[in-house]
Chain A
Amino acid sequence: GAGVSQTPSNKVTEKGKYVELRCDPISGHTALYWYRQSLGQGPEFLIYFQGTGAADDSGLPNDRFFAVRPEGSVSTLKIQRTERGDSAVYLCASSLGARHNEQFFGPGTRLTVL
């Protein structure tokens, strides 16, 4: 596609529920990044994929957060037992590859946990 797309654009859920957020990177981009942006803050790095494997997951806050990229393209961020503190905009970015620095961001998914 022309840019990074993310679905859904908005997600409202109840505390304790499970959610999945999807990211479609720019076609041909092998590197994919997830970030989280809380209100009034800059984006915070969560996890980075090169191809199908997670090259760096040091930013995931705890084991309730998990992400996959089984075929090296679309990625899903999964959050179990959601908490109110998980409410934020979840951003996805992609770049041509590990040796390319420019990251292009999607519009984000706004997650609200009630």
Chain B
Amino acid sequence: GEDVEQSLFLSVREGDSSVINCTYTDSSSTYLYWYKQEPGAGLQLLTYIFSNMDMKQDQRLTVLLNKKDKHLSLRIADTQTGDSAIYFCAAQTWSGGGADGLTFGKGTHLIIQP
């Protein structure tokens, strides 16, 4: 089955860019997602990218996909204290019945230094 890997921690200074990396194993993954989870809060969908794209930009967020290497990254420009959270990478395949359940990584804790 699919396996999604992320580093567990990333520490950046406020105002710098954060880059969170993810690798996945199933080359048939159709959509790749980034979710944000703040303490005591639910999972918030940040952005996603379709597998035939290599980049997607949405305000301060940039997603890069290297399908050959099965590598996904999320860049957050001008990181703020409010960006402090756990960021989950997730992969999804589509079967005959439609969109399958998501396979998540363990999450990357983004720590912001003042």
Contacts and interface: CB of A to CB of B under 8 A. Distances in A.
A73 interface: no
B104 A43 contact: yes
Contacts of B10: none
Per DSSP, chain B at the interface is strand
A107 B41 contact: yes
Contacts of B95: 56
Interface in B24-61: 30-31, 35, 41-45, 48
Given A41-B106, A44-B104, A45-B103, A105 B98 contact: no
A12 B111 CA distance: 32
Interface residues of B, number: 25
Q: Of residues A35, A42, A99, A104, which shows the largest number of chain B Cβ atoms within 10 Å of its Cβ?
A: A42
A40 B42 contact: no
A101 B97 contact: no
Interface residues of A, number: 31
A99 B43 contact: no
Given A41-B107, A42-B106, A45-B101, 4 more contacts: A42-B105, A43-B102, A95-B99, A102-B48
Interface of A: 31, 33, 35, 40-48, 50, 55-56, 59, 91, 93, 95, 97-108
Interface of B: 4, 30-31, 35, 41-45, 48, 88, 90, 92, 95, 97-107
